[in-house]
Amino acid sequence: MIRALIVDDEDLARQILREYLGHEPDIEIVAECTNGFDAVKAAIELKPDLIFLDVQMPKLDGFEVLDLIPNETAVVFVTAYDQYAIRAFDAAAVDYLLKPFELSRFQTALDRVRRRLQEKAPNPATAELRQAATPPGQYIQRIVIRDNTRVHIIAADQLDYAEAEDDYVALHSGGKKYLKQQTLSSLEASLDPSRFVRVHRSFLINLDKLGKIEPYTKETRLAVLTSGAQVPVSRAGYLRLRELVDAR
């Protein structure tokens, strides 16, 4: 049996999915959720094989949920028309259903899911998928992090700096540190480049949190943030930093 979770804030959309799944003897619905927070909790606790995931939802959107659930869980996005999202899904070979969808299109998606589960194919990298689905000139306004079943949200403008740590990025905000499994480069690509700057191979800072720049060695400097944190600045990073500061 394929254990499925339905996540959509629209009653009618969940009803249609229930009706269509009722004709599939190898699929069992284990739960339904109406928002992203409940979806993450259910995905962690119930460990479904498949999630039907709405893109536009309250609390957490579909991309944020995808970012927080186990990578081996098959996902079928359910969305109203969005040219950038659809283009991203097609490019990444992600299964999706475009509302309103017919039974035949639904069954096609299920056939793909069955093959994917047999092949144990992982989900695409969420950061790259979201970036491809975002219109040019738009950047994330918040960062989501999961700690077991708890979800932390950091507003982008409250991020002091980020530091690469092996396969993770350490996010520093308000005197606290959060670990997220993501590369520093992908985080950098999702943030507004007029506000966030890579000052070192391993460090990214929020320009609004910069207090001053001090000399450190012959080739490097220190960025002293308003929180008192000190971040190393490479020679190339200093040039990027000065360019942004001078442009303000």
Asked, for residue 122, whether it belongs to a domain, the answer is: yes
pLDDT reading at 246 higher than 80: yes
pLDDT band at 165 (very low <50, low <70, confident <90, very high): very high
Averaged pLDDT, 52-70: 91
Condensed to tens digits (0 to 9), the pLDDT of residues 203-221 reads 999 999 999 999 988 888 9
Condensed to tens digits (0 to 9), the pLDDT of residues 134-146 reads 888 899 999 999 9
For residues 115 and 203, state if they share a domain: no
pTM: 0.86
Total tally of structural domains belonging to the chain? 2
pLDDT of residue 97: 93
pLDDT band at 131 (very low <50, low <70, confident <90, very high): confident
pLDDT band at 120 (very low <50, low <70, confident <90, very high): confident
For residues 128 and 198, state if they share a domain: no
Averaged pLDDT, 72-97: 86
Q: Which residues contact 229 (CB under 8 A, 6 or more apart)?
A: 160, 161, 172
For residues 166 and 81, state if they share a domain: no
Task: For residue 174, count other CB atoms closer than 10 A to its CB.
Answer: 9
Q: Cα–Cα distance between 35 and 33 in angstroms, integer?
A: 6
Q: Percent of the chain, pLDDT > 90?
A: 75
The answer to whether residues 144 and 179 touch, using CB atoms and an 8 Å cutoff, is no
Peptide bond into 58 cis (omega under 30): no
Give the domain CATH number at 61.
3.40.50.2300
pLDDT of residue 133: 87
The torsion angles phi and psi of 46, rounded to 5 degrees, stand at: -95, -20
